[in-house]
Structure 1
Amino acid sequence: MDLFIKLSQFLLSLSLLIILHELGHFIPAKLFKTRVEKFYLFFDVKYSLLKKKIGETEYGIGWLPLGGYVKISGMIDESMDKEQMALPPQPWEFRSKPAYQRLIIMLGGVTVNFILAFIIYIGMAFAYGETYVANSDFQDGMLINNPVMQEAGFKTGDKIIAADGEKIARFDNDITMKLIMSRKVLIERDGKEQEIALPVDLVDRLSQYEKTNLIDIRMPFVIGAVEDDSPNTTLQPKDLITSLNGQPTKYFDQAEIILANSKGKTIPATVLRDQKEQNITLKISKEGTVGVQRGGLTIDNLEKLGYYKISKQEYSFMESIPVGLTKGKDQLIGYGKQLKMIFNPQTKAYKQVGGFKAIFDIFPETWSWETFWRITALLSIMLGVMNLLPIPALDGGHVMFLLYEIISGKKPSDKFLENAQVVGFVLLITLLLFANGNDIYKAIVGR
């Protein structure tokens, strides 16, 4: 069932993005009276799952879920329809239209992708608002368990002040990406500020510890369950351990250190039970454990206990517009920085480029419309940016040649465009094989 939910979100998001992207080409083509022969969700190699011709256009669903397409008459595209291109140009064909109209048709897909992302972010701001913890509320700093971050010089208790000169005001979904994309991070440790330089190949190093967050919220030591063979039967589920061996343990990471230094001993402890403190003794095993499984606290309970203040910002529809636009702009700039890192060999970020499995994996196994829309908006930006790359066979390649034509007044020959399309197609297949090959490699080696 979990796999079905994950797959459903993946296919729904992918289908939505493909259909709207292709509509971005289809609508201006129709407005400029250009014939559209096919409109397909997924590729119909050899055969289609569904198809129906309405007017001059065949609408259908292919069996290969690697994208979608519209086939526009008189256009050199992935169909490589040389027979049609060998005939005299017709008024309804793409090649017969003025350059500015062809440019608008080619830019339509990515324009829709960017507009969609901004609309989603505006809608999310209005529907869900923003929930976060103000960075200033982390009086005791962050939890640093990631070995790569520890090697870079971070320690538990550090307060993150700024990344590449940009002040970190909130702990939210974007903070991890801000740190990954940064070269220098300003922290506060023991009341003093200092700067930590992140390694150039940070992304590659982090891939060895994908299941360990860069930074985390420090959590209290709460008992989830007492093991059957536990020597500490005085402990009960939901107990919160507030001190061990006379030392305060506001956070679990503090308790870990005391337990590691008390192996094989019996020590005094204080627990908070039913809002009352009780003094007990605990037997520590030779491994430094007390025979329990850790539990968790809800955000509301953490706030009631005075650990963190959860801020919720709600917006009216008009207020949501600038918030959503800013969010979209930040995500667009952030993805541009990611591409820059990928194309920089020093970062080794190209090793982490993923294919369809990587996209599939970012969807959760439980249905959440908020998460779904957040991922879909990001994928829409990624699709738009990737399609703008000046690679023949992508929208950006067609735009590049059209801009050349508009500026120079000279139209590239059909033969040149056909050859460029072949080169671009080979490049795309290579990138596709590389990205999905990375997925397969990670699955084999467990990284």
Structure 2
Amino acid sequence: MSAFTNFESFNLNKQLLNAVADLGFSTPTEIQKKSIPIILAGQEIIGIAQTGTGKTAAYLLPVLMKIKFAQGEGPRAVILAPTKELTIQIAEHAIQLAKYTDLRIMPIYGGIGPKTQIEMLQQGIDILIATPGRFTELYQRNELSTKEIKILVLDEADRMMDMGFMPQLRKILEVLPRKRQNLLFSATFSERVEKLSAEFLEFPIKVEVTPQATAAQQVEQELYHVPNIKTKINFLAYLLENREEFNRVMIFTRTKESADNVFNFIERKGLGPVKVIHSNKGQNSRINAVNEFKEGKLRVLVSTDVTARGIDVVKVSHVINFDVPAFHEDYVHRIGRTGRAFQEGKAITFATKAELYHIEKIEKLIREKIPVKDLPANVEVEKTPFEEAQAMALDIDWQKKKEDPSFKGAFHEKKTKFPE
């Protein structure tokens, strides 16, 4: 594979090479070296690569090369992705790479009325990037022709499985032409993804860069044991006071409420400029917040995991996990926001006693221990309120019971259900 030392060696056309040069890419990444020749040769592929490894261009370049120029009405390539943010981002990337071609590229997603999207589809389209829900909806309304589709890409397949898209994906696969090239990309290769790939890929070539779910190499990780939410807030304020070092920070929380609380605190303390994005925020305000963050107008962006995937921002100095994610693969995605495109970055995680259970699982997944640091002496450690202490004790009981179903905890008479 070492033959592919530059983009010229893939035999891409001049239009694509010029766009690649404009974007400042000189050396293909590992996933690009391995995937591009296979896709160009017409093979089916399972690409296992995390965000930040250049995987989007790894499938976009060969797809653009195969579609070449505008023709007909209906799309000839469809890329399915789990969230609006990701469809928009893939479309932006595709438009940049296709800028010297006449290809018509468009994202479609839910959350807004379909009228404008339908009007654009009627003008003709070559490459469609869609969420499964909106794709299905427009197909059922006879607004989307699938007859010409020659290439299907599933991006972030693991995430689509976790968001319950399996039934919709099966329906979509049924309405696509039988003769087509299928490409599947995923950060992890769980049993569910394997099962899906067996359903629709024929003799795929599996391409894997870095072992599954490894943390990005350039990211320095730190773990702090923090007793409660109030102390987390004190610690956050302490970190953000260092404006020079913490100049572009993404903060992740587990819930929308937590995201809003963290945002309000940062705003009140004047530690911003800051914005918050989660699924309750309108599509436009989410896009604007991400763009402002990209352009450096925002110092801090607070987000939940739903909106975390597919935000591509270079030069994020720090990722702060205010809460430990309960879905352990999300840790890899969160910290992959920093250390992108060969930049250095740091990921700092705050964990209460109840969250250490998830840390253990994350360490197993990334096959490394996250170094534990002591809380700085200047951070005021607050007393844990009774309700919070009780909730944590319940949580720990539930964790022990999950590991050992015969465990009878201090709260075993209460049927408290915790989210998995």
Q: TM-score range by the shorter chain?
A: under 0.3
Considering fraction of residues, name the structure with more strand.
1
Considering fraction of residues, name the structure with more helix.
1
- Highest Rg: 1 or 2? 1
Output the TM-score relative to the length of structure 2: 0.23
Output the TM-score relative to the length of structure 1: 0.22
